């Protein structure tokens, strides 16, 4: 294993989704997200950004009401 492997937010989320996919990762007033659901939502959001010709390291702003969408965008 390389140094830092899995220590990013993305790495921790993916590892948790593999180990305990049905476990609740986050819960807000709107809904509860399992690790698998959260990982899939984050992957879809990243795909949308990459489809917009954004590349890792580009900055993206988010504006809106407090919600789990901010967690996914992060």
29 domain residue, yes or no: yes
Q: Under 8 Å CB-to-CB from 31, ≥6 apart: which residues? A: 68
Q: Does residue 3 belong to any structural domain of this protein?
A: no
Output the pTM of the full model.
0.78
Residue whose C-alpha is closest to residue 38's, from 63, 69, 64, 67: 69
pLDDT at residue 9 tops 90: no
The mean pLDDT of the chain is: 86
Residue 62: predicted pLDDT: 84
Provide the domain limits for residue 21. 9-73
For residue 25, name the pLDDT band (cuts at 50, 70, 90): very high
Structure-model confidence comparison of residues 22 and 68, the more confident one: 22
In a domain, 32, yes or no: yes
What's the structural domain count of the chain? 1
Lowest-confidence region among 3-7, 20-24, 69-73: 3-7
Q: Say if 2 falls within a structural domain.
A: no
CA angle (30, 43, 33) in 5-degree steps: 25
């Amino acid at each position: 294993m390389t140094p830092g492997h899995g220590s990013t937010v993305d790495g921790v989320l993916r590892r948790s989704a593999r180990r305990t996919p049905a476990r609740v990762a986050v819960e807000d007033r709107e809904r509860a997200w399992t690790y698998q659901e959260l990982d899939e939502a984050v992957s879809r959001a990243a795909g949308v950004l990459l489809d917009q010709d954004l590349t890792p390291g580009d900055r993206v702003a988010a504006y809106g009401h407090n919600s789990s969408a901010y967690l996914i965008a992060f």
